[in-house]
Structure 1
Amino acid sequence: MFSTNDFIPNKYTQSIENGSFQWSSPSNIALVKYWGKKDKQIPANPSVSFTLSNCKTITTLAFAKKPISSALPVEDSDFSFDLLFEGQSKEDFKPKIQQFFERISVYLPFLKEYHFTIDTKNTFPHSSGIASSASGMAALAMNLMSLEKTLNPTMTEDYFFQKASFLARLGSGSACRSIKGKVVVWGNHNTISGSSDLFGVEFPNTIHENFNNFQDTILLVDKGEKQVSSSLGHNLMNGHPFAERRFDQAHENLDKLIAIFENGNLEDFIKVVESEALTLHAMMMCSMPYFILMKPNTLEIINAIWKFRNATKTPVCFTLDAGANVHVLYPHNVKEKVLQFIKDELVGYCQNAQYICDQIGSGSIAL
């Protein structure tokens, strides 16, 4: 297990003038929610997520060595990069990348030596509650680690992936859960071996076959920009009247999920996951300032899922991120039945009748 200092390299053994890499990184959907953080992107409570498959960011990183200037030492020069989103220049994304580079420069000392062209695209709507910052920062971190591995070819695979998760976290906390693994834990938890506040780790315990190829159909209730940024939302937990009890609850629910993943009890899974989703939104509704991120159609969908589940005994449930869209979770063996229910009863609540069919994936992929 690596510490922060382990991610500061001593010296590179190779050099490269220019080149490019391309990685695909998925979004993820938290089952136990991370809400609230400390300095340097440290989570206030542990979280666990399903890594998705189809909702992903594909990022190409091209790089070229900057000309050597005697006027300015490399360490005093500026970061140099262009940013394209879906083929178009995206100036309003650049401050976030600049901040990310500033945070990680001590861990990637080559950053100021190159000019980068970052060309990125999503397979899903940006800023609509499907964790685009998570997949985007994960994909960028993977590309940067590919460059570092070129400079240090003896790097181990474990180091490569843990440092990628560590770096991604510094761009967007939940991005550390999009690097590797079907089920990922981020945050120290006493009963999960190897868990860390610094990076995400693959869930190390037994996972019952009921969760193999678990499905996530994302109902796009509102594809617009989120009303509240995740950073602002996390900050509202500072001084929140129910914060400490919420953090304890997250630990308790993670303990429950450890047992549920082993025994495959879908009824208990549903209770934990739906409670976590509603608690996340409850924290926002009773913060100061307060927000309601659900839309009327979000509630219509939730009530329809409850009615369908009670009537048919089908193990289907919902979860939410910090937005209006609804993730419908269910095992693969009821896929046909649930999709028919979605088409018959839920699509009408989606913006332009749009939804995305997804499932558990396995993490970032080099392209």
Structure 2
Amino acid sequence: MDRLREMEVFVAIVDRGSFTAASEKLGMSAPAVSRALTSLEARLGAQLLTRTTRSVRPTDAGMSYLDTCRTVLDTITDAEANISVDQKNPVGTLTISAPVLFGQRFIAPLVNAYARRYPDVHINAVYDDRTSRLLEEGVDIAIRIGHLGDSSIFAVPLGFVRRRTYAAPAYLAAHGEPAHPRDLAGHHCVSFTGVTHAFEWMFYENGLRLPVRLQPRMIVNLAPAAVMAAVERVGITQLFSYQAAPEVIEGTLQPVLTAFEPESTPVNLLHVERRGASGKVRTFVEFVTDALRKNVHLQFADNAAAVDGADRMPVSGKRKPSRRAKKPMIVSTR
């Protein structure tokens, strides 16, 4: 078997997580995949994968070689694309990663439109709130919400979201509206671990950070679960502004404590730093960047308040004394 094919086999095993899945991707038998890896390891004189009954993972040598393999294979794919008759039609497999709810609302429609426009690009879209590692996991494009610290990637700014605190009008009518973040100690709270620490929410007062300790009534690890709990009056929750936007428009949630909001959080499109972006990466970046920068839910901080309905109607009824929260109920939402 030629060296390039062995590289393809090695990358496929890592990407798919098993010999069987790699064989299905490559159209080879599982024994043929195993023989290719054995041949590759024998030629290199190094073990590339650690195999257990449950997983297959690259060794340190395998991780180093994996990056080289991806570069070589991508270079070949790009070279083939560049000599095609129509250079405006990219080819290859494009792997995209995005947070679940953000991806569902904003990325998936653009991915579908891109797929229709570029039929020769095969797309692997992964929607996961876990932060993916671009190089190690073979991700071409990743959408990230938060501040960046990885210098090995290119970042394309798309806009900003805000971390806001929300409650159902009916909950506020029954329990009163907190006037200061410290008032949350007397309220039922729903902590979404994808945005906040379960037992500490961050606010700002007079330009200074104001961490507030609390005992949440419920802890969830998925944004829709936090939204649903807040809408159904379980308690107050803290979310990114886009996550509660439909409910704010419908009037089932409203922001509170807006004077104490933390600073805006950047949204970026990331791709691995290379000498020249491949056709599939370049066209996808160009395709989605303009659309996302025009998205009203990703506008800069000055416009964020108007987007998710900060100019809300006041809660009817008198403010009632806050109630002390009960012990937290941890809910698995995966």
- TM-score (ref. length: structure 2): 0.24
TM norm structure 1: 0.22
Which structure has the bigger radius of gyration? 2
Structure with the bigger RCO (C-alpha within 8 Å, sep 6+) is: 1
